[in-house]
Structure 1
């Protein structure tokens, strides 16, 4: 356990700036928002006027809160995914780039512990950070919108919980895929991995066109697993609060579907394959 703790500590000191990217992003957004509010106050346009200037139908304030909470988390989750993808390359290829790969792997620690610590730092570290930042953000949004519109905090926190669960599995899939690419390519793994996907998709398209085959689109499938689809649209925005409650309740049963299962399976496969490639490649 002490060895494992030391490995995680080493990764923290080496890659903490990249890991904390979602925090820098959230801080920047709040700083810009605060500047905007100050400018509005100086101009004599308080925040309350922005809510009361538009005649919001009864019940729609809850939908606004739900959508705002889920949308802000989705944006923050996108930043967290990019951070995890960059982390994958840094964790597996950082030693190679700094020309100290042999030194790191000569430690009296089994390679399995090293790989697990790197993978947990990338996935669990990003998930914990995303969960904490997004929870604080969701509470803040719920309090502000609730104060000016009367919307109940329940809708903001529920949107946070449902969106976060979807994001966790999506983040696991995306980060694990680029973990595999980082094990496969020592240099520019992000670029090379993305290029590999595009090349395979191009080959599939050519075969479908020239040979009359009907091979499903790899790129479309990856994009489906790598994104979360919004549950609210223009039509649902006009529903009353009773229908909104029914929609929200129905989402709990849709969180764990076939795509979620496939994300988990692919994540395990990519982790094992990426670790095997890292373990068996030539050191330099």
Structure 2
């Protein structure tokens, strides 16, 4: 366990600048917001007021607003993980010290496990803390200014967090596989591979008249943080109905596919990486 912890710390020290990108973004937004408030206060004086939406819609505004901002922060977290995964897998190759790294008295499964734990769970933990901080700040502010219910902000945070976690696992494991296959420019070559498959599918559909769904379209559906939900059962759906249907949206085949693909990508990536020629 001590050895595993040391591996995680080493990976963190190497890639923390990339993984901390969501924190820098959030800090920048708060810095600009505070600067705007100060300037507005100086120009408008103590009588400056804030106009909020009508009270009947304030909970919906808080719920949807929290989801939107948390989703944006989640996209940044996923993007940071995509950038970091190439460095984790191919960093030693680019520095021409793979043989030195693999000569250490540490098993390869433990090394790879430490990398992915930091990549997925570390990124997710940072995201949840940052998004919770923002949710509480905005939720408490809305509560005091318009009596909005903090409950809906917390529900939005939890639901978006679940969506980000599933998408982060799926996307990071896919580019984990790409980085194991391609030692250089794994991100672009991975996207190029998807494009090549999509073109092949399109040609088959046109020439053989096969009904094959779009690969890119389905991948975008899987990457989507917010699950597809239907409000058809409700004549006049309330906000509580929306929250409930959002939770039910995670109980779908798309979630199963994401988890299964994550496992397959990880295992395939490890198998390929373990058989690469060291330099």
TM-score (norm 1): 0.91
- Tell me the equivalent position of 1:259: 254
- Tell me the equivalent position of 2:4: 4
State how far apart, in whole Å, the 2-side matches of 1:58 and 1:252 are: 25
User: Does structure 1 residue 59 correspond to structure 2 residue 56?
Assistant: yes
1:230 to 1:255, Cα distance in 2 relative to 1, 3 A = closer
1:30 to 1:46, Cα distance in 2 relative to 1, 3 A = farther
Structure 1 residue 48: Cα displacement: 7.0
Instruction: Write out aligned runs for 1:154-169 (5 A).
Output: 154-169=151-166
SS of 2:265's partner is helix
Structure 1 residue 255: Cα displacement: 2.1
- Tell me the equivalent position of 2:233: none
CA contact (8 A) 2:62 2:152 kept: yes
CA contact (8 A) 1:81 1:171 kept: yes
Structure 1 residue 232: Cα displacement: 9.5
Q: String of CA shifts for 1:234-283, please: whole Å, max 9, x gaps.
A: xxxxx7xx811222123222223211111000000001111111111111
CA contact (8 A) 1:18 1:87 kept: yes
1:230 to 1:280, Cα distance in 2 relative to 1, 3 A = closer
Structure 1 residue 212: Cα displacement: 1.6
State how far apart, in whole Å, the 1-side matches of 2:9 and 2:71 are: 29
- Tell me the equivalent position of 2:184: 187
CA contact (8 A) 1:67 1:232 kept: no
User: Does structure 1 residue 243 correspond to structure 2 residue 238?
Assistant: yes
User: Does structure 1 residue 270 correspond to structure 2 residue 262?
Assistant: no
- Tell me the equivalent position of 1:132: 129
- Return 5+ residue gaps in structure 2 as ranges: 231-235
1:194 to 1:252, Cα distance in 2 relative to 1, 3 A = same
Divergent runs of 4+, >4 A: 45-48, 230-233
TM-score (norm 2): 0.93
State how far apart, in whole Å, the 1-side matches of 2:224 and 2:238 are: 26
State how far apart, in whole Å, the 1-side matches of 2:11 and 2:269 are: 18
- Tell me the equivalent position of 2:24: 24
State how far apart, in whole Å, the 2-side matches of 1:47 and 1:77 are: 37
- Tell me the equivalent position of 1:281: 276
SS of 2:116's partner is helix
1:46 to 1:259, Cα distance in 2 relative to 1, 3 A = farther
CA contact (8 A) 2:228 2:249 kept: no
- Tell me the equivalent position of 2:108: 111
Q: Between Structure 1 and Structure 2, how many residues are aligned?
A: 274
State how far apart, in whole Å, the 1-side matches of 2:229 and 2:205 are: 35
1:58 to 1:277, Cα distance in 2 relative to 1, 3 A = same
SS of 1:59's partner is helix
Q: String of CA shifts for 1:190-231, please: whole Å, max 9, x gaps.
A: 111011111111111122112222221111111100112377
Structure 1 residue 43: Cα displacement: 2.4
CA contact (8 A) 2:227 2:249 kept: no
State how far apart, in whole Å, the 2-side matches of 1:88 and 1:231 are: 28
State how far apart, in whole Å, the 1-side matches of 2:229 and 2:213 are: 28
State how far apart, in whole Å, the 1-side matches of 2:54 and 2:119 are: 44
